[in-house]
């Protein structure tokens, strides 16, 4: 099998290098090819998603992404929209046909104290957010600024809703069997369609799943006040962007949060943290999220659950024994990565 790595910007290269070391250890037969994306790709190739990267992905079995983008005041943010780092990321998602973004949010036993929530609220939280990733207001074709008026259209079709809902139901079947579909059906027609289609699919093909529907504003509250009530949360692209980042604060460190984006072709696996330009190049970034993303790649991309479990366990041990600075410990990127490799082998 062939994996394409896309280290990207900021701390992306450092954490991706760590994940690659782990992959070489547990899947030595895999071919790994590195390519450019994001702000760096724009600098070198005048395109945040260069043709060469696009070509390399055509026969890849999975892609492992680092991070893209610069600081808030980066010159990249002043480029025309299609040349900005984020456009590279959106084009990558579209190229791979990754319509379902999976974000596990788990508070590991013994790490409750890291959460900004009270320990009794954070304890035992285990949510999977399934975010639609290729539709809605993100991929609107009619977007424009006309003089002093700007427009973006949120649009969903039944097939778009159904394909991502299937992923959520499938995931719930391996978990606690509950799906909460999130919308704003009291205001939006798009949400009315979403709610109707998700419910119809459940009633037709997933009778064993317990499905309920909640409003996005209410979920934003309850994810904080009572996160244990959720198993799988299914939602559209923009709400998912907000809710998945919101839920990601619960464990107390973005440094341990992986993600998988699945669809028709090769999957895309990436840590959810940003490019952290303030600490880039210093060798102190926590590579746990990138390594856990490699674990999701093994599980979902290469269908190697044993290797994936192996990686998950090794990261848990390393987190306990060699916590990085963001977790209140002292380990740098190298020390942590070695701890994982040791635990693996």
Ligand X SMILES: CC(C)[C@H](C(=O)O)[C@@H](O)C(=O)O
Binding residues for NAD(+): 274-286
Q: What's phi and psi for 16, nearest 5 deg?
A: -70, -40
Q: Residues with Cβ < 8 Å from 252, sequence gap 6 or more?
A: 107, 111, 113, 114, 115, 116, 122
Q: What is the rounded radius of gyration, in angstroms, for the C-alpha atoms of the chain?
A: 20
Do 3 and 32 meet the contact criterion of CB atoms below 8 Å apart? Answer: yes
* Choice between 51 and 186, CB closer to ligand X: 186
Q: Answer yes or no whether residue 75 interacts with a second copy by CB under 8 A.
A: no
Q: Residues with Cβ < 8 Å from 174, sequence gap 6 or more?
A: none
Which of 29, 46, 80, 118 contacts a second copy by CB under 8 A?
118
Sheet with 178-183, strands from edge to edge, namely: 31-34, 2-8, 62-67, 267-271, 258-263, 98-106, 126-132, 232-235, 178-183, 210-215
Which of 44, 110, 187, 309 contacts ligand X by CB under 6 A?
187
Q: Which residues pair with 342 in a beta bridge?
A: none
- Judge whether 140 counts as a catalytic residue: no
Do 212 and 168 meet the contact criterion of CB atoms below 8 Å apart? Answer: no
Least distance to a second copy from the beta carbon of 115, Å? 8
Least distance to a second copy from the beta carbon of 120, Å? 10
Which of 94, 192, 200, 335 contacts a second copy by CB under 8 A?
192
- C-alpha span between 288 and 324 (Å, rounded): 9
Q: Answer yes or no whether residue 194 interacts with a second copy by CB under 8 A.
A: yes
Work out what residue 194 binds among ligand X, a second copy, none; the CB cut-off runs from 5 to 8 Å by kind. a second copy
- Judge whether 47 counts as a catalytic residue: no
Q: Which residues of 265-279 are buried (b: 16+ CB within 10 A; e: fewer)?
A: bbbbbbbbbbbbbeb
Least distance to ligand X from the beta carbon of 268, Å? 10
- Judge whether 245 counts as a catalytic residue: yes
Least distance to a second copy from the beta carbon of 85, Å? 9
Q: Binding site residues, as ranges? A: 93, 103, 131, 217, 241, 245, 274-286
Q: Answer yes or no whether residue 124 interacts with a second copy by CB under 8 A.
A: no
Which one of the listed residues 138, 156, 206, 230 is annotated catalytic?
138
Q: Answer yes or no whether residue 121 interacts with a second copy by CB under 8 A.
A: yes
Do 32 and 24 meet the contact criterion of CB atoms below 8 Å apart? Answer: yes
Work out what residue 73 binds among ligand X, a second copy, none; the CB cut-off runs from 5 to 8 Å by kind. none
- C-alpha span between 251 and 37 (Å, rounded): 29
Give the number of residues in contact with a second copy, rule: CB under 8 A: 58
Q: Answer yes or no whether residue 149 interacts with ligand X by CB under 6 A.
A: no
Work out what residue 79 binds among a second copy, ligand X, none; the CB cut-off runs from 5 to 8 Å by kind. none
Do 61 and 1 meet the contact criterion of CB atoms below 8 Å apart? Answer: yes
Which one of the listed residues 184, 197, 206, 231 is annotated catalytic?
184
Stretch that binds a second copy, among 32-40, 58-66, 192-200, 278-286 (CB under 8 A): 192-200
- Judge whether 138 counts as a catalytic residue: yes
Stretch that binds ligand X, among 8-16, 86-94, 225-233, 298-306 (CB under 6 A): 86-94
Distance of alpha carbon 83 from the chain centroid: 22
Q: How far is CA 119 from CA 251, 256, 277, in A?
A: 10, 18, 31
Q: Answer yes or no whether residue 279 interacts with a second copy by CB under 8 A.
A: no
Q: Answer yes or no whether residue 186 interacts with a second copy by CB under 8 A.
A: yes
- C-alpha span between 26 and 303 (Å, rounded): 13
- Judge whether 148 counts as a catalytic residue: no
Q: Give the contact letters, 217-256, x = binds to ligand X (CB under 6 A), - = no.
A: x-----------------------x---------------
Task: Give me the active site residues, please.
Answer: 138, 184, 217, 241, 245
């Amino acid at each position: 099998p062939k994996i394409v790595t896309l280290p990207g910007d900021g701390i992306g290269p450092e954490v991706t290098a760590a994940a690659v070391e782990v992959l070489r250890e547990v899947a030595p037969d895999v071919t790994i090819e590195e390519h450019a994306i994001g702000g760096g790709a724009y600098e070198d190739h005048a395109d945040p998603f260069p043709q060469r990267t696009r070509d390399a992905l055509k026969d890849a079995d999975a892609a492992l992404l680092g991070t893209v983008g610069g600081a808030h005041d980066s010159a990249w943010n002043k480029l025309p929209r299609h040349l900005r780092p984020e456009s590279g990321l959106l084009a990558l998602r579209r190229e791979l046909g990754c319509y379902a973004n999976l974000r596990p949010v788990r508070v590991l036993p013994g790490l409750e104290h890291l959460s900004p929530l009270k320990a009794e609220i954070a304890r035992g939280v285990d949510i999977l957010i399934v975010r639609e990733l290729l539709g809605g207001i993100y991929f609107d074709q009619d977007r424009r600024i006309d003089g002093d008026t700007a427009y973006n259209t949120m649009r969903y079709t039944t097939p778009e809703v159904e394909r991502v809902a299937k992923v959520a139901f499938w995931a719930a079947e391996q978990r606690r069997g509950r799906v909460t579909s999130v919308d704003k059906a009291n205001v939006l027609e798009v949400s009315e369609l979403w709610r109707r289609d998700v419910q119809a699919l459940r009633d037709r093909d997933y009778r064993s799943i317990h499905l309920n529907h909640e409003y996005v504003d209410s979920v934003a509250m309850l994810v904080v006040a009572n996160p244990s009530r959720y198993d799988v949360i299914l939602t559209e692209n923009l709400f998912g962007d907000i809710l998945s980042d919101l839920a990601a604060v619960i464990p107390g460190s973005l440094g341990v949060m992986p993600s998988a984006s699945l669809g028709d072709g090769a999957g895309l696996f990436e840590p959810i943290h940003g490019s952290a330009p303030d600490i880039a190049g210093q060798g102190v970034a926590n590579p746990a999220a990138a390594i856990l993303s490699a674990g999701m790649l093994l599980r979902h991309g290469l269908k190697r659950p044993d290797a994936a479990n192996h990686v998950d366990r090794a990261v848990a041990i390393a987190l306990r024994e060699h916590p990085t600075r963001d977790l209140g410990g002292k380990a740098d990127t190298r020390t942590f990565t070695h701890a994982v490799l040791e635990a693996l082998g």
